[in-house]
Structure 1
């Protein structure tokens, strides 16, 4: 029995009457979830979906998505999650690339697609789905080893075309046991997951389910909806990315919302601006847990506990300046070129049908993260930026994350992103985008002058941005990461003719 089937069975045996999933007004216990997914697995089997078959799942967050994942795990099939915001051509490319034999999802989204020949479709709203989960049927017993694939998770593609990360049952099992060896969420955990169930962050709900937690879903994230859901479900844990947290805080201030049940905010996917962390801690009064992870590493790689955060100083100190320590069973190492590599049973099997990319990313059992950083003597991982984002100015390396941290010290800056722009003289020069509420978009002269004064005090001459642009917000993908390639293209035009500082 593979991990997903064992996880479902374990939930029924140990936490049968505990609520497993809350989706709006619907509540399903662990016993009900196991029974419903048995029936759904039997239905997939009757549709001809079996071991090794790929099934695309196209939907907003909802109970049926998790049920489909468990059901596919029980018949040995492979789930291919697709973000609900993908356009038909993007969905078609993923469906064709993974050679899917079926598509499950929301009826409205499925109607927009042209179904490939021989590809079955199962709509969540259909009578066929309702009959399946209510049938009481069970799929044929299968002995599925943990090294068989469970998911093909497509990367967020901040720099190019997304790749399909192959995740097996062993990865899910090892990440869950490793994470929970370091993190004890408690038997009464109610975990509100605000991220899509269609990318790497969807591993976290499965991890918390291994601890018997109740998982709360939102169809789509909205700040008022998030606050209302926390209160209604009495959520103890909240997962989101920092930009979501900013909007939640704004909504909380407008409504004077009290969230007495909330014990911990789990954040990932993007750096947490220091002013935002301090404001959030003061406003919400709960602990914060950072999760550093990559889809290729199985999801969570390292975590910084609430007790290790520094909630007092403007510049983080000690462990609070890191992203945490590797979870049990995972090793993080900084190689000679400064890139972080990850080794452990949670790592991916490779990229789907892309041996060249796999050979580049996986070597001797280690996965390259694409992140630059160090690991100190106590095992804390410190990030310096992305390998592909390093700006080379006249042979000198500039790490955007370092410049961004300085810009975020400015009281008027809410967010910042630094990208490289071409220079005939220097090769590349740094250019900064800043989000500053109250400032008009463009180049507010006095505000930009204050930014220049700050970087003069804090950064070496060659690291200082040659230009600044004030924007209302930074462009982000569904995973919450800034789409830097779009900013680089725009900045190259905006910064044409700017000269770098002499050093």
Structure 2
């Protein structure tokens, strides 16, 4: 029986890649220079304050990378923060980890000492839960994230990952792109999305991966033939973070874009199921099959495995699972920290496997709307509305209602506002009667998180403000 290969540490990966020209956009030379400068700073900090954390709220991507990797490789507890968080979010973070905002660990660097009780050296805390208004941190390690990298490479059958990153690095969707590239010996483009949308495309070795949220793919498809040809050049365009409308996916297939629909979250170190591009181009519309490092089951309300085509709670076992949470009223729950490393993670998602073993996500238990005794997942209604020509974006919320418990209300962004009055009739043949919204609101834009996810709490408040029904 063969021995399990020893995984390299982050310090070993950085040593092996030292001096490589691996960054496109920012200067690789500048990165290595900053890493060399910051590493002894964080090493001294860790030695003097063992167990203390480092909160990184750096907007500059080169500074972020150098600070994050220097601190993490020296066994500091690294806490990632959104540099654009406002006063409310900063207050939540202050209550969780008490960063000293007035004492950066190096001049000109937005990295601050903080308190991370209950954590262990070398852990990295990645923010999640912002769409619900309550920030918490998923606690990961180099091992859990590297396991995700290995599963990704095996699923796509690649030894080296080249990635084009326009997503925020403090988020798992951006951070994992960095780690896939670093660990596999690839190259990484780092570019603000606004520059890409403005038409600036940077060179990346062939066969790379581009990660987008649906609104970004919609934008880029609208930029003309040159962008479509560019999108086709990727090994895969990873699409996740929010549900994608059928019309967008059909348009991407018509344009022969190698889309890979993904399912995953911060707690799982990004995707644990992914549809391969060739499957997408053949007409599949699902989250694909499980990655090698993950096992997904669908459970009934009684905790029993569901048969194919029967929806239930999505439960994940994976060696990439976070070791727990810090904040948000959550316990330090187990995942990969469990002695066996396989304790399941019960998600908030509702889904099913089809007869071919492809995962389909129906909605979220927490977003369920109950109207007249019927359970409705707003994502289901939204997906139907997004197939209607002219509907650009939509969010369905449940307004408090004495008669029905909740009343369905659709906030809609449309190419032609005058067509709003036609939507009820156009939707009628697409969904059951109890799923049809009773209120319709035309809006110019919908509230979203920095990762492109709908902020349903904010959308509900917006609807109540427009209708004058605030509680």
TM range (shorter): 0.7 to 0.9
Which residues in structure 2 correspond to 1:333-412 (within 5 Å)?
Answer: 333-337=297-301, 338-352=312-326, 356-358=330-332, 365-412=343-390
Shift of 1:230: 3.2
* Structure 2: gaps (5+ residues): 1-5, 112-118, 302-311
> Cα RMSD over matched residues?
3.3
Deviations 1:235-285 (A, max 9, x none): 8332121112222233446x87852754431121011222223334545x4
Determine if the alignment matches structure 1 residue 425 to structure 2 residue 423.
no
Distance 2:404 2:109 in 1: 58
Could you tell me which residue of structure 2 aligns to residue 192 of structure 1?
164
The match for 1:292 among 247, 255, 263 is 263
In structure 2, relative to structure 1, the CA distance for the partners of 1:251 and 1:234 (3 Å cut) is farther
Could you tell me which residue of structure 2 aligns to residue 42 of structure 1?
40
In structure 2, relative to structure 1, the CA distance for the partners of 1:74 and 1:17 (3 Å cut) is closer
Distance 1:433 1:353 in 2: 32
For residue 273 of structure 2, give the secondary structure of its aligned residue in structure 1: strand
For residue 391 of structure 2, give the secondary structure of its aligned residue in structure 1: coil
Residues 480-489 or 44-53, more deviating: 44-53
For residue 229 of structure 1, give the secondary structure of its aligned residue in structure 2: coil
Which residues in structure 2 correspond to 1:230-241 (within 5 Å)?
Answer: 230-231=202-203, 236-241=208-213
Could you tell me which residue of structure 1 aligns to residue 444 of structure 2?
472
For residue 259 of structure 2, give the secondary structure of its aligned residue in structure 1: strand
* Structure 1: gaps (5+ residues): 103-113, 129-145, 312-316, 498-503
Deviations 1:34-53 (A, max 9, x none): x8635522221234566532
Q: How many residues matched?
A: 440
Distance 1:149 1:11 in 2: 15
For residue 481 of structure 1, give the secondary structure of its aligned residue in structure 2: coil
Could you tell me which residue of structure 1 aligns to residue 97 of structure 2?
98
Residues 192-201 or 352-361, more deviating: 352-361
For residue 228 of structure 1, give the secondary structure of its aligned residue in structure 2: coil
In structure 2, relative to structure 1, the CA distance for the partners of 1:361 and 1:494 (3 Å cut) is farther
Shift of 1:357: 4.3
Distance 1:477 1:153 in 2: 15
Which residues in structure 2 correspond to 1:411-450 (within 5 Å)?
Answer: 411-437=389-415, 439-440=416-417, 444=418, 447-450=419-422
Deviations 1:378-432 (A, max 9, x none): 4321111111111111211111111111111111112221111111111012111
Alpha-carbon contact 1:78-1:149 (below 8 Å) kept: yes
Could you tell me which residue of structure 2 aligns to residue 27 of structure 1?
28
Distance 1:257 1:347 in 2: 35
Alpha-carbon contact 1:4-1:73 (below 8 Å) kept: no
For residue 19 of structure 1, give the secondary structure of its aligned residue in structure 2: coil
Shift of 1:8: 5.1
Determine if the alignment matches structure 1 residue 460 to structure 2 residue 420.
no
Could you tell me which residue of structure 2 aligns to residue 109 of structure 1?
none
Distance 1:323 1:256 in 2: 25
The match for 2:288 among 316, 324, 331 is 324
Could you tell me which residue of structure 2 aligns to residue 173 of structure 1?
146
Shift of 1:148: 5.2
Distance 2:120 2:274 in 1: 26
